[in-house]
């Protein structure tokens, strides 16, 4: 038997999707990648957090060409109601934020979206490539999957709560929501099933859970709603700058040792690590998401999917680094842990 569902997707922030011609366009491959991403987190507990077991199960469900049993097609099928292109111009004025390590204020949109967004002296902030899907855009996702895959509804709920798609999506770009889905509350079983103690998460080198500590889930939400995504992204940019710059560098380019801020994300401009070379990458573990609360107001969410740094020769106390960041977020008067008064 096959289960089917149709979900109306709303984009809550601009979305940098690209096809082979680098044009921003609605496409199914990024949405399938998003399904796989949250499927891994939802399925990880039952697999005992064993990556090889999870990889084999994922291949059998979503398609693969590496198992000894032979290549298989995906059992999950996706279709979109339309494949429309986005706008070709960036028509939004950037809002600046303070950065303690540079003399002048920095643009919040450029800070969080550098790459898809670029700044040119003659034209100002614009798009690197041809187009972007604007906030407020919508589509209908048609989804079919085997009835025995009972975890898929949980995956869809997690995507609604935490999912982002496209370029710089870890910084809150490409935040999406499914119409009619519940807002996130601490008692939701779909969330509890994917929480894991921070110290246990740091035993593995891949994102497999949302962390938790003695204070609860490592999920923070803005106390106040925002008028639009522009204001929300400015808030997230300022928040990110504050917790990153709390770790000062004592070295510069070509450093012969790793410092605390390197653990947050890498590379860091003007602060590369010689031993890691020019190709080392650490994605942000703290992720941003825009969402609508129970009153349909736009708010911001920050959550942590912790894992140990997979790069070699890391002798820092990574647990201590993350605990300092969590403490800073807890002290931010504009944030509250999940479950606080709305």
Domain assignment present for 39: yes
Is residue 338 predicted with pLDDT exceeding 50? yes
CB 286 within 8 A of CB 270: no
Same domain, 150 and 200: no
Same domain, 203 and 325: yes
Q: Under 8 Å CB-to-CB from 296, ≥6 apart: which residues?
A: none
Return phi, psi of residue 119, to 5°: -120, 130
pLDDT tens per residue across span 30-59? 999 999 999 999 999 999 999 999 999 999
206 and 242 inside one domain: yes
> Are 45 and 168 in a shared domain?
yes
The two three-digit tokens of residue 60, written as one number: 């059998």
pLDDT at residue 71 above 90? no
Looking at the fold, whether 243 and 283 belong to one and the same domain comes out as yes
User: Could you please report the per-residue DSSP string of 227-238?
Assistant: SSHHHHHHHHHH
**What token pair was written down for 109?**
């949109």
pLDDT digits (tens, 9 = 90+) for 183-220: 776 557 889 999 999 999 999 999 999 999 999 999 99
Mean pLDDT, residues 71-95 taken together: 92
- Kind of pairing, strands 216-217 and 195-197? unpaired
Q: Can you give the pLDDT at residue 227? A: 97
Q: Rounded to an integer, what distance in angstroms lies between the CA atom of residue 207 and that of residue 204?
A: 8
Most confident of the ranges 17-26, 47-56, 178-187: 47-56
The Cα–Cα gap between 217 and 85 comes to 38
Q: Which residue segment(s) compose the domain that 139 sits in?
A: 1-88+130-181
- Reply yes or no on whether the pLDDT at 67 is more than 70: no
Are 314 and 213 within one domain?
A: yes
Across the strands, what pairs with 138?
10
Peptide bond between residue 267 and the one before it cis (omega within 30 degrees of 0) = yes
For residue range 110-158, list pLDDT tens digits in order: 999 999 999 888 778 989 887 899 999 999 999 999 999 999 999 999 9
Instruction: List pLDDT tens digits, range 211-264.
Output: 999 999 999 999 999 999 999 999 999 999 999 999 998 888 888 889 999 999
**The pLDDT of residue 75 is above 90:** yes
Residue in this structure with the two tokens 């928040």, named with its chain if needed: 239
List, for residues 88-98, the tens digit of each pLDDT value: 889 899 999 99
Backbone angles phi, psi at 234, to 5 degrees: -65, -45
Task: Looking at the structure, tell me whether residues 171 and 230 fall in a common domain.
Answer: no
Average pLDDT, the chain: 92
Angstrom CA distances, 133 to 8, 15, 75, 233, stand at 16, 5, 28, 16
Residues 224 and 142 in one domain: no
- Is position 22 within any domain? yes
Let me know whether 217 and 267 are in one domain: yes
Domain count, the chain: 2
CATH number at residue 135: 3.30.70
- Residue 90 contacts residue 127 (beta carbons within 8 Å): yes
Tell me the three state secondary structure of residue 324. Answer: helix
């Amino acid at each position: 038997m096959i289960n089917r569902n149709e979900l109306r997707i709303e984009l809550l922030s601009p979305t940098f999707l690209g096809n082979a011609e680098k044009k921003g366009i609605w496409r199914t491959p990024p949405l399938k990648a998003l399904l796989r991403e949250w499927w891994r987190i939802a399925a990880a507990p039952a697999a005992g957090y064993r990556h090889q077991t999870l990889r084999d199960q994922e291949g059998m469900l979503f398609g693969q060409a590496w198992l000894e049993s032979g290549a298989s097609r995906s059992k999950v099928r996706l279709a979109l109601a339309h494949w429309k292109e986005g706008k070709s111009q960036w028509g939004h004025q950037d809002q600046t934020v303070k950065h303690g390590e540079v003399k002048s204020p920095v643009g919040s949109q450029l800070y969080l979206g550098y790459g898809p967004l670029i700044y040119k002296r003659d034209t100002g902030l614009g798009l690197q490539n041809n187009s972007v899907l604007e906030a407020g855009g919508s589509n209908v996702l048609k989804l079919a999957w085997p009835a025995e895959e009972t975890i898929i509804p949980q995956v869809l709920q997690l995507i609604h709560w935490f999912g982002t798609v496209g370029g710089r999506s870890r910084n809150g770009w490409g935040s999406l929501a499914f119409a009619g889905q519940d807002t996130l509350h601490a008692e939701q079983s779909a969330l509890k099933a994917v929480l894991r103690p921070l110290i246990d998460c740091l035993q593995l080198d891949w994102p497999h859970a949302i962390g938790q500590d003695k204070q609860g889930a490592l999920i923070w939400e803005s106390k106040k709603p925002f008028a639009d995504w522009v204001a929300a992204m400015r808030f997230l940019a300022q928040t990110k700058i504050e917790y990153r710059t709390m770790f000062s560098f004592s070295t510069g380019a070509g450093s012969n040792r790793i410092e605390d801020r390197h653990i947050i994300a890498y590379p860091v401009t003007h602060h590369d690590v010689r031993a890691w070379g020019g190709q080392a990458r650490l994605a942000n573990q703290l992720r941003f998401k825009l969402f609508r609360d129970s009153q349909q107001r736009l708010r911001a969410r920050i959550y942590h999917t912790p894992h140990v740094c997979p790069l070699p020769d890391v002798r820092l106390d990574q647990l201590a680094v993350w605990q300092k960041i969590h403490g800073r977020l807890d002290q931010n008067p504009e944030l509250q842990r999940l479950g606080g008064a709305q």
